[in-house]
């Protein structure tokens, strides 16, 4: 049960400490997202005279509840807010399970597609060119071609490669077994760039907001739209192949 804001025991934490408490269970959570949830009224941390946020343990538990309802039950923030309001008034939140017949879960399964949280996560992996060739099990020639066609780039100023480069290289090697060459994969890059452009165009107005939660709203929207875009693309390809 999530304690309401009137609960006792008001141990104070700053936003960085709260982030560390949450990250073990919610790797995708960020400071902008916490500010965004505050902006939506789901948490109401106290403020010092200087304006710094100070969170109680009850605030952290409310954040856990919000993040869990989003991740595990895909509830919109408005519904989660209604749950929290009920809890604050001493009521039990409404049952999450549907009481009417529903489409089988398997029909709506994401089939391993990335979730919105996966777009939040950032890897610290850094590989040299030699390490990338070894770990991805690709040839020097294949990596050269992937770079030539803009599918892989080293990090500017370092010459090192990240986890995205590793996944792309390994995937390209697996596709090569079916006769796909890097030049054939340019179509994937072009389509991805087009999707990135559309997402950025939609999110730009959110990112320009002047309040402290603007960046959080933009990050949240980017992650959600990106995950939906990948899901739609993959499902359209699957449906097209089945009908051919």
Per-residue pLDDT reduced to its tens digit, 169-181? 999 999 999 999 9
Neighbours of 138 (CB within 10 A): 22
Task: Annotate 23-63 with three-state secondary structure.
Answer: HCCCCCCCHHHHHHHHHCCCCCCEECCCCCEEECHHHHHHH
What are the φ/ψ torsions at residue 186 (nearest 5 degrees)? Answer: -60, -30
pLDDT value of residue 231:
86
pLDDT value of residue 97:
66
Q: How far apart (Å, rounded) are the C-alpha atoms in residues 4 and 164?
A: 42
The pLDDT of residue 188 is above 60: yes
pLDDT grade for 106, boundaries at 50, 70 and 90: low
For CATH 1.10.1660.10, the residue range(s) in the chain are 15-102
The pLDDT of residue 100 is above 70: no
Give the DSSP letter of residue 8: S
- 232: closest CA among 72, 98, 110? 110
Q: What is the pLDDT of residues 125-172, one digit of tens each?
A: 788 999 999 989 999 999 999 999 999 999 888 889 988 899 999 999
The pLDDT of residue 124 is above 80: no
Pick the more confident residue, 104 or 7.
104
Neighbours of 121 (CB within 10 A): 11
Q: How far apart (Å, rounded) are the C-alpha atoms in residues 147 and 138?
A: 13
Q: Check the CA dihedral 51-221-194-153 and report its sign.
A: positive
Q: How far apart (Å, rounded) are the C-alpha atoms in residues 184 and 74?
A: 37
% residues pLDDT > 70 (the chain): 85
The pLDDT of residue 59 is above 90: yes
pLDDT value of residue 109:
56
Q: Which residues contact 98 (CB under 8 A, 6 or more apart)?
A: none
Fold of the CATH domain 120-243: Multidrug-efflux Transporter Regulator; Chain: A; Domain 2 (1.10.1660)
Counting every residue, how long is the chain? 244
Largest pairwise CA distance in the chain:
66
Q: How far apart (Å, rounded) are the C-alpha atoms in residues 47 and 54?
A: 6
Fold of the CATH domain 15-102: Multidrug-efflux Transporter Regulator; Chain: A; Domain 2 (1.10.1660)
What are the φ/ψ torsions at residue 161 (nearest 5 degrees)? Answer: -120, 150
């Amino acid at each position: 049960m999530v304690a309401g804001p009137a609960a006792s025991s008001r141990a104070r934490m700053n936003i960085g400490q709260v982030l560390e408490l949450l990250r073990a269970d919610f790797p995708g959570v960020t400071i902008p997202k916490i500010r965004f949830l505050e902006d939506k009224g789901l948490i109401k941390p106290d403020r010092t005279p200087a304006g710094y946020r100070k969170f109680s343990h009850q605030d952290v538990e409310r954040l856990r509840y919000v993040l869990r309802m989003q991740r595990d039950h895909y509830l919109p923030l408005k519904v989660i807010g209604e749950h929290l309001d009920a809890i604050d008034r001493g009521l039990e939140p409404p049952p999450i399970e549907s009481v009417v017949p529903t489409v089988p879960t398997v029909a709506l399964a994401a089939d391993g597609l990335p979730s919105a949280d996966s777009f939040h996560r950032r890897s610290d992996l850094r590989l040299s060119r030699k390490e990338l060739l070894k770990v991805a099990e690709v040839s020097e020639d294949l990596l050269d071609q992937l770079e030539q066609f803009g599918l892989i780039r080293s990090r500017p100023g370092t010459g090192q490669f990240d986890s995205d480069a590793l996944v792309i290289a390994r995937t390209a090697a697996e596709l090569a077994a079916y006769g796909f060459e890097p030049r054939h994969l340019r179509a994937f890059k072009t389509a991805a760039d087009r999707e990135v452009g559309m997402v950025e165009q939609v999110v730009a107005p959110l990112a320009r907001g002047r309040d402290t939660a603007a960046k959080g709203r933009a990050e949240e929207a980017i992650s959600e739209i990106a995950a939906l875009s990948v899901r739609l693309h993959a499902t359209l390809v699957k449906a097209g192949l089945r009908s051919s």
